[in-house]
Amino acid sequence: MFFIDTIELDGLGNRHYLAGGKQTAVAVDPPRDFDQVLAAAARRGVRISHVVETHIHNDYVTGGLELARVTGAAYLVPAGARVSFARVPVADGDTVTVDSGLDLRAVATPGHTPHHTSYVLQENNVPVAAFTGGSLLIGTVGRPDLVEPRLTEQLARAQHASAHRLADELPDETSVLPTHGFGSFCSSAQAEGDATTIGREKSANAALTQDVDSFVTRLLADLDDVPAYYAHMGPANADGPAPVDLTPPAIADAEEIADRLAAGEWVVDLRSRIAFAQGHVAGSFNFEADGKIATYLAWMIPWGKPVTLLAESPEQLAAAQRELVRVGIDRPAAAATGSPEQWVAEGGSLAAFPRSTFAGLAEHGTDGIVVLDVRRDSERAAGHIEGSVHIPIHQLHKRLGEVPPGTVWVHCAGGMRAGIAASLLDAAGRDVVAVDDGFDAATGAKLPVVTG
């Protein structure tokens, strides 16, 4: 008998796994904060004997090296990956014993990276699951453009071949357990559904239903923007990440918060966009703790710039810290908890801006205002408000000067990114209205929506 525990990383859109038998288990692609893996092993009453990486990750800092050190497990990393630490190099066909009657077999599946390796879990030599990392995902594959532009087409073709290798070698009932595809920008498209098998992918995955030329042409045409922080993840993982420190940061009072703002540091308010709009420290930015804070803050902040976190509670602060260490933002410079009234220096006042909907925009009319669309290029191409200005959210902090004069009504697809954008514009002294609404409502409001 074997078990497989799936552990979600909702903020980054990834999964990692613990799989094993009665006594020992293997951890697959663990994140930097690996306490959930240890807790899962404790619940199962098993020892982690192996930690494996499918590839050197681009979208988060791995916890594999430190987890292996803490548990004494063997640390398996694809042999082709250039790393600066001791590990067990894994080549195609290598097999390790996880528990009695339970083996893990390495299968070279280049494409997401040149060295990418999947691992097939075998019970009594029968494949039961494949940990496919960034290779074969649910309905799609991992993107091939994160390593080197000159290799992108070559890796896209390798993705097609790797998907076919898995489909040809594994029984249809084999579970496919990817790391990416649940919101991660490492996926070339988002997963449709929550679980899959080799058999299901044979009929649903473009890599397995299209010829290689058609597949590559479509894959390359559909690639989206790459988060800027990805450039720092690969090197960090290859060097061997340091252990995390999740102890609470130093507490900043109102004067220190003001000083940090004056010094050009980032002060980030973690509260909901609704609460932020109602009242906040002038000059602070709003990245909701319940949103994709790790992705968007890491994407937009100048790398290495000190950040101070403002939170409603110690719990909200701790959750945000945990999200941020996963992408290499290790220690906040300072933090404060409570309410915005406590964060404003004596004699100061809170800033605020209005929120509205697409119906509110239609009622107001678009004459004499700026409608700013902060969605990605692919989203805008599917439909946008005629005459609107387009600056994707991850570019806005560097392109604020391109926003035309006038009151700015800013929108995205659902409201979260509009909240971030509104906070950036407000901090820059612009009059702004945050459109907190789903973009589908724009058509219902009879706003002029065009495509292309």
- The contacts of residue 433 (CB under 8 Å, 6+ apart) are 353, 354, 355, 356, 407, 408, 409, 410, 422
Q: How far is CA 196 from the centre of its chain?
A: 21
Whose structure tokens read 């973009």?
439
- Would you give the end-to-end CA distance of the chain in angstroms? 54
Measured CA angle at 419 (ends 368, 251), to 5 deg: 135
Task: Provide the 8-state DSSP code for 27.
Answer: E
Note the pLDDT of residue 381: 94
- Distance CA(119)–CA(132), nearest Å, equals 7
Note the pLDDT of residue 191: 66
Note the pLDDT of residue 183: 83
Note the pLDDT of residue 189: 74
Instruction: Say if residues 432 and 422 touch (Cβ distance below 8 Å).
Output: yes
| DSSP reduced 3-state for 4 | strand
DSSP string, 282-304: TT-EE--TTS-HHHHHHHHSPTT
Q: Which two tokens stand for residue 320?
A: 């945000």
- Distance CA(449)–CA(383), nearest Å, equals 6
Instruction: Say if residues 354 and 435 touch (Cβ distance below 8 Å).
Output: no
Nearest to 413 by CA among 440, 444, 394, 445: 440
Q: Provide the edge-to-edge strand list for the sheet that holds 334-337.
A: 285-286, 266-269, 307-311, 334-337
- Distance CA(178)–CA(133), nearest Å, equals 5
Note the pLDDT of residue 46: 98
Considering only CA atoms, give the Rg of the chain. Answer: 23
β-strand 266-269 against 285-286: which pairing, if any? parallel
- The contacts of residue 315 (CB under 8 Å, 6+ apart) are none
- The contacts of residue 445 (CB under 8 Å, 6+ apart) are 357, 358, 359, 361, 362
- Distance CA(201)–CA(221), nearest Å, equals 21
DSSP string, 247-288: SPPPBP-HHHHHHHHHTT-EEEE-S-HHHHHHSB-TT-EE--
Note the pLDDT of residue 184: 85
DSSP string, 358-401: HHHHHHH-STTSEEEE-S-HHHHHT-EETT-EE--HHHHTT-GG
Q: Going residue by residue through the chain, which has 452 residues, state the pLDDT in tens, using 9 for 90 and above.
A: 899 999 998 889 999 999 999 999 999 999 999 999 999 999 999 999 999 999 999 999 999 999 999 999 999 999 999 999 999 999 999 999 999 999 999 999 999 999 999 999 999 999 999 999 999 999 999 999 999 999 999 999 999 999 999 999 999 999 999 999 888 888 877 666 789 999 999 999 999 999 999 999 999 999 989 999 999 999 999 999 999 999 999 999 999 999 999 999 999 999 999 999 999 999 999 999 988 899 999 999 999 999 999 999 999 999 999 999 999 999 999 999 999 999 998 888 999 999 999 999 999 999 999 999 999 999 999 999 999 999 999 999 999 999 999 999 999 999 999 999 999 999 999 999 999 999 999 999 999 999 98
Q: Which two tokens stand for residue 300?
A: 């937009």
β-strand 14-20 against 24-28: which pairing, if any? antiparallel
Note the pLDDT of residue 182: 87
Angle between helix axes 293-300 and 416-427 (nearest 10 degrees) is: 40
pLDDT digits (tens, 9 = 90+) for 177-200: 999 988 888 887 766 678 999 999
Other beta carbons within 10 angstroms of residue 230's beta carbon come to 18
